[in-house]
Amino acid sequence: MTESLIQAYSNSPRRQKLQIIGSIFMAIITVAVMLILYLVVSARVVSVGRQLQRAKDQIDHLVYQGVNYRNQIAQLSRFGLMEAKAIELGFRPPYPGEVFYVPVVGYTLQPETSVDANEDIHSMVTNVNLLEYHQSLIDWVGEQLGIFLRPFEGL
Amino acid sequence: MNENIKYNWRYITIAVLFSLFGVAIIAQMIRIQLTVNPSDFPVPGSLGQWETAASRRGLILDRNGHVLAGNQTVYSVDVNFEEFYQSGEIEEVKILAELAIEVFGINNPYLLGFLQQEPRPLTKNITVERFATQEDLLQYLALVEDFYAGITPGLVEGESTEEFSISLEERVEVLDCYDLIRVSCTPHLIRSYPEKKLASNIIGFVMRDTKEGQLGIEEKYDSTLFGNDRTLWALWDPHKADQAPDPDDGANIILTIDSVFQADVEAILDNTIKKTGALAGTVIVMNPKNGEILAMASSPRADINQYWSNDYYDIINNHENIFNYAIKSYEPGSVVKVLTMAAALDAGVVEPDTEFIDEGEIEIGGVTIKNWNEKAWGPQDMTSCMQNSLNVCLAWVATELESESFYNYFQDFGFGQMTGIELSGEAPGLVKSYWSPDYTRSELATNAFGQGIEITPIQMVKAISAIANGGEMVAPRIIHSIIDNGYRYTPPKTVVGHPVSAETAQTLTDMLQESLQNESSLALVPGYSLAGKTGTAEIYIPGIGYKSSATNTSFVGWGPTDDPQFLVYVWIAKPSASIWGSVIAAPVFRKVVEKLVIHLGIPPDAVRMTLQD
């Protein structure tokens, strides 16, 4: 009796329609949630992208500013200006007789530290008085012919 | 059944609506496919704009990192006059044009004519200034802003110029070109030379419009210094924001010169030219051990920030390459005797004590050679021949050597060939071949004392390095290092031959040291052992011939003789105070060495020997 009542309840036309509607709503909600998630992520990407673009614009601006500041430093520390300030302060260049060299006992002059490879490795001897400067074309052809015929000598 | 029929219309309505929506989508798809102008529907992923990342031209620095050539940000200021006309704001056009003329100091007749013409022709964008400095631009924008705010541009009544400048600076932080409509400013970089004339003969300059390097290092290393501007289609799509171009900056170049010492040498040279009434001159200081140029002064020089100025027209545009006298060829005169004597000693045709009876003249190849004072000097040895700079003696030495050997030595010394120094416009000089049809034997005699032969000062420095450096000849170089993308390249010391033996070099150095001491030369610096030789050459004037009243005076010297650390070459052209190298060029050598020993920290010989002990 009880089972037949339950079966009658679940199979009633109204109950069956509600199940279909519920399923559709669930599907819609699922899609909507996914869309919202997509929009949130996309919006975040767009926002970061815009920030990146703005940052790059700022970098460009800072590069131009940096170039100008460096130029200003160079202008303010130029030789003529520094010399004028030094003279204004009462300095003047020394003469050779005014320089004193004091021997320091125990001190030996250390060679300047070089981060380069040994200079000798790079040194090369270039002969500027090369044979090619004097040799005529006929001499050159003769020489090349001699080199070519050398293996055949004695045959 | 009736119930179903009752609700059917609802289902039908919804179905129709969805169907219509679907049909609309399909219709739109068909329309897009069949449209006549596809550009009306750009692909969203392709929307963007061309973006250029302006690259920085590499810096040129001295050996201590002091900036000799840098960059400066300037702005191209454009006004969109067309939009003004379209909006009927004629008065605004007038004011903006007047402000531009006032602030930027426009004097270009074409632009001035356009800006002052009324009614103005309908033109879209007008570049009112291409190289506006930041200060000028901000002043212009502030005045334009004032105008829009209803304030009369310029000083407010009772406001001083200083107060105006301060108020302008306060507004600088908030002022932006893009805040103003119809006025745009685009930043870009131009070359800046903070030291102006200092070492300008070495550096060269960059053309503002074409950005091409001209003369000196700027031309020789144009492609190295030049930064590649990168232009690409930058998408507006934020996902692809990282596609914006990055600049490819040029490499920095570090020179071997010391700018402080260079300034000292330039001052000495300029003063000498002024005092002696000379036309021009050059001084080169080189380390004979490694070929590094410590200073290369040339006068006259140009302020390369203003290379277009009429004041510098002759220096910049002269076809005879007077931008840098150090690489210009000339007849050097008696300084060449050093090399003639070196060749003769090395070949073994003479020795220091070889005797020569000077009779005041000698005939070679049908030409009579005479001494500088046209007198006979009697019995001489080779040291006194050098000390008294006897043309007759050196001409005889050259004949003892014979043409083939003499010119082979000169070729070994590098005459007639460029030294390869890293400067644009180096002259190769001119040495006639002894086998050429128009060669006469008299040229052997004149070449022996530096006449009838063209040599550049830098070639002389290179050749003399073989004498100062124990027979080893080094190539002069002015580039210390190149730094590109964080990597440093240091060109190596280059030995370019051994034209004479170490013994010959030492013998000649001793001879020249002795002769300098004996003649109590004005080149001597107390306390330092120096070797050197003066030179005076008559100048050939086409149509007239050699003129003894117009001379090139020179001096070459090096020291300390037991451990040479510097080699100095001086050339003063056409001095009017005196025609002699011993009077004009020798004191320049002394003044330069006096500065040099302090810069390099070279103690006097006696002190140095004590320190070495």
Complex confidence, ipTM = 0.77
Backbone φ and ψ for B53, nearest 5 degrees, come out as -100, 110
Largest CA distance in chain B: 151
User: How far does the CA of residue A75 sit from the closest CA of chain B (Å)?
Assistant: 5
Contacting residues of B for A118, CB less than 8 Å apart = none
Average pLDDT over residues A87-115: 77
DSSP per position, B574-601: S-SS-S-HHHHHHHHHHHHHHHHHHHHT
Q: Quickly state the pLDDT bin for A13 (edges 50, 70, 90).
A: confident
Evaluate if residue B284 carries a pLDDT over 50.
yes
Q: How far apart are CA B481 and CA B221, in angstroms?
A: 12
Query: Which has the closest alpha carbon to B574: B590, B597, B550, B598?
Result: B550
User: In the predicted model, is pLDDT for residue B451 greater than 80?
Assistant: yes
Q: Phi then psi for B230, rounded to 5 degrees?
A: -110, 125
Reported as type and span, the H/E element at residue B481 is strand B479-484
Higher pLDDT, B122 or A84: A84
What whole-number distance in Å separates Cα of residue A51 and Cα of residue B494?
53
User: Which pLDDT score, from 0 to 100, does residue B461 have?
Assistant: 96
Average pLDDT score over chain B = 84
User: Among the listed ranges A92-106, B139-153, B321-335, B467-481, which one has the minimum average pLDDT value?
Assistant: B139-153
CB B504 within 8 A of CB B523: no
Query: Which residues of chain A does B244 touch, with a Cβ-Cβ cutoff of 8 Å?
Result: 53, 56
Task: List alpha helices for A11-155, DSSP H.
Answer: 13-76, 79-88, 119-122, 137-149
Give pLDDT tens digits for B3-36. 566 678 888 888 899 889 989 888 877 876 776 6
Give the residue on B whose Cα is nearest the Cα of A130. Answer: B412
Contact A93/B264, CB-based, under 8 Å? yes
Residues of A in contact with B71 (CB under 8 A): 67, 70-71
Question: What backbone torsions phi and psi does residue B597 show, to the nearest 5 degrees?
Answer: -65, -30
Q: Do the chains contact at A71 and B239, CB–CB below 8 Å? A: no
Which residue is listed with tokens 């406001």?
Answer: B159
Inter-chain residue contact A101 with B241, CB threshold 8 Å: no
Higher pLDDT residue, A135 or A61? A61
Q: Are B54 and B71 in contact (CB under 8 A)?
A: no
pLDDT band at B135 (very low <50, low <70, confident <90, very high): confident
DSSP reduced 3-state for B424:
strand
Verify whether the Cβ–Cβ distance A74 to B492 is below 8 Å: no
Which chain A residue has its CA at the smallest distance from B416's CA? A128
At A65 the pLDDT is 86
Please state which of the ranges B362-371, B533-542, B603-612 shows the lowest mean pLDDT: B603-612
Which of the listed ranges B73-77, B196-200, B428-432 does the model predict with the highest average pLDDT? B196-200
* Host H or E run for residue B253: strand B252-255
**Collapsing DSSP states into helix, strand and coil, what is residue B362?**
strand
Q: Which residues pair with B357 in a beta bridge?
A: B379
pLDDT (tens digit per residue) in B213-254 = 999 999 999 999 988 777 767 666 666 666 666 778 899 999
- List the beta bridge partners of residue B557: B532, B568
**Minimal Cβ distance to B496: which of A73, A103, A128:** A128
User: DSSP readout, B494-551?
Assistant: EEEE--S-HHHHHHHHHHHHHHHHHTT-TT--TT---EEEEEEEEEEETTTEEEEEEE
Are residues B247 and A63, on separate chains, in Cβ contact within 8 Å? Answer: yes
Query: Measured between alpha carbons, how far is B443 from B451 in angstroms, rounded to an integer?
Result: 8
* pLDDT given for residue B173 in this prediction: 44
Distance between A124 CA and the closest CA of chain B, angstroms: 6
Residue B5 confidence (pLDDT): 66
CB contact under 8 A, A45 and B238: yes
pTM of the model: 0.79
Interface test with B, best of A61, A63, A87, A112 (most B CBs within 10 A): A63
Bigger pLDDT: B116 vs B17:
B17
- CA–CA separation, B283 and B298 (whole Å): 7
Two tokens, residue B17: 């609506």
Taking 60 as the threshold, does the pLDDT of residue B367 lie above it? yes
Would you tell me which residues 62-81 of chain A have a C-beta closer than 8 angstroms to some C-beta of chain B? 63-65, 67-68, 70-71, 73-75, 77-80
Across the interface, do A63 and B411 touch by the CB < 8 Å criterion? no
pLDDT tier, B2 (very low <50, low <70, confident <90, very high otherwise): low
Instruction: Please list every residue in chain A whose beta carbon sits closer than 8 Å to the beta carbon of residue B494.
Output: 123-124, 126
Cα–Cα distance, B326 to B297 (Å, whole number): 8
| Contact assignment for A99 to B611 by CB distance below 8 Å | no
Say if residues B246 and B186 touch (Cβ distance below 8 Å): no
Partners of residue B538 on adjacent β-strands: B551
- Res B511 pLDDT > 90: yes
